[in-house]
Structure 1
Amino acid sequence: MRAYTTAHLDLDLPPGHPFPLYKYRGVAEALKGEVDLVPAPPVDREVLALAHQEAYLDRVFGEGLSRAESLRLGLPFTPALLRRALHAAGGTVAATRDALATGLGLNLSGGTHHAYPDRAEGYSLFNDVAVAVALLRRKGFRGRVLVVDLDAHQGNGTAVFFQADPTVYTLSVHAERNYPLKKEQSDLDLGLPDGTGDEAYLEALRGALEEAFRFRPELVFYNAGVDVLKNDRFGRLALSLEGALRRDLAVLKKVKEAQAALVVVMGGGYNRDPGLTVAAHAQTYRAAISFR
Structure 2
Amino acid sequence: MLAFHSDAHSLALPPGHRFPQSKYRLLREHFEREPGLLRMVAAPAASEGELALAHTPDYVDAVLLGHLSAAAQREIGFPWSPSMAARSRHSVGASIAAARAALAEGVAANMAGGTHHAYADKGSGYCVFNDVAVAARLMQAEWGRTHRSLLRVLVIDLDVHQGNGTASIFRDDDTVFTFSMHGARNFPFRKEASDLDVDLADGCADADYLAALDGALDDIWRRFQPGLAFYLAGADPHEGDRLGRLKLTYEGLAERDRRVLSALRERRIPVALSMAGGYGRDLATTVAVQVNTLNLAAGSWQAWLSARGTG
- Report TM bin, short chain: over 0.9
Spell out, residue by residue over 1:110-152, the C-alpha distance to the aligned partner (whole angstroms, 9 max, x if none): 1000000000001110000110111122224422211000000
CA contact (8 A) 1:213 1:258 kept: no
Q: TM-score, normalising length from structure 2?
A: 0.91
Specify which of 53, 59, 72 is matched with residue 69 of structure 1: 72
Mapping 1:177-192, distance limit 5 Å: 177-192=185-200
2:130 counterpart of 1:127: yes
Q: Provide the rounded CA distance (Å) in 2 between the counterparts of 1:12 and 1:61.
A: 16
Matched with 2:104 is 101
Shift of 1:56: 1.2
Aligned residue in 2 for 1:143: 151
- Of 285, 288, 292, which residue of structure 1 is paired with 2:294? 285
Does the CA contact (< 8 Å) of 1:109 and 1:265 recur in 2?
A: yes
- Aligned with residue 165 of structure 1, among 146, 169, 173: 173
Cα separation, 1, equivalents of 2:27 and 2:65? 33
Give RMSD over aligned pairs.
1.1
Which whole-Å deviations, capped at 9, do the CAs of 1:13-71 have from their partners, x for residues lacking one?
A: 11011111111011112222221211111001111111101121222223431111111
- Is 1:91 matched up with 2:99? no
Distance in 1 separating the partners of 2:174 and 2:239? 35
The answer on 1:193 being equivalent to 2:201 is yes
Tell me if structure 2 keeps the 8 A contact 1:42–1:88.
yes
Residue 282 of structure 2 is matched in structure 1 by 273
Identity in percent: 46
Once the two structures are overlaid, the 10-residue window that deviates more, 85-94 or 137-146, is 137-146
Specify every segment of 5 or more residues in structure 1 that has no aligned partner in the other structure, as ranges: none
- 1:3 is aligned to 3
Q: Equivalents in 2 of 1:138, 1:260: separation in Å?
A: 18
Equivalents in 2 of 1:65, 1:234: separation in Å?
A: 27
C-alpha separation in 1, matches of 2:158 and 2:205: 14
- Structure 2 counterpart SS, 1:190: strand
Residue type of the alignment partner of 1:85: S
Helix, strand or coil for the counterpart of 1:238? coil
Which aligned pairs between 1:47-62 and structure 2 lie closer than 5 A? 47-62=50-65
Q: Which residue of 1 aligns with 2:307?
A: none
Structure 1 range deviating more: 184-193 or 101-110: 101-110
Matching residue's letter, 2:180: S
1:207-245 CA-partner distances (Å, limit 9, x unpaired): 011111331211110000110001311111111111110
- Hey, what does 1:261 align to over in structure 2? 270
Q: CA deviation at 1:75?
A: 1.2
Aligned equivalents of 1:57, 1:91: Cα separation in 2: 18
Task: For 2:76 and 2:219, locate their aligned partners in 1 and report how far apart those are by CA, in whole Å.
Answer: 32
Contact 1:213–1:254 (Cα < 8 Å) also in 2: no
Q: Secondary structure at the match of 1:189?
A: strand
Aligned residues of 2:107 and 2:300 also touching (Cα < 8 A): no
TM-score using structure 1 length: 0.97
Distance 1:73 1:256, change over 3 A: same
- Show structure 1 runs of 4+ deviating over 4 A: none
Provide the rounded CA distance (Å) in 2 between the counterparts of 1:166 and 1:216: 12
- How far 1:198 moved relative to its partner? 0.7
